[in-house]
Amino acid sequence: MNFVVLKELHPKELSAIIKEVTAKETQWALEAAAKDKEYIIASGRTKVHPLTDAQAAQWAKVMKPVWKKFEANVGKDNIEAALKCSK
């Protein structure tokens, strides 16, 4: 999309485009991460220790102060989006 077209978009249209592209890119990133994880496991050089639900909950509890510390720099919405991706 060129700059002239971008300038002529209504803010709601631009927002819809950004949401659509972000959803597609997030899906692509999740698929790429899954493939990378498979490759790492298949290599046999690294042992992956998946967390149980209880361990993941404990990890999230311990990390909350860290996320809060960086909220101003990263943005609360970005942290929340990252947390949704990690489920």
Residue-wise pLDDT tens digits, 8-54: 888 888 888 888 998 899 899 989 999 999 999 999 999 999 899 99
Sequence ranges of the domains in the chain:
1-48, 50-87
Residue-wise pLDDT tens digits, 59-70: 989 999 999 999
Residue whose token pair is 């991706």: 85
Give helix 53-74 / helix 76-85 axis angle, nearest 10°: 150
DSSP state of 86: T
- Model pTM above 0.75: no
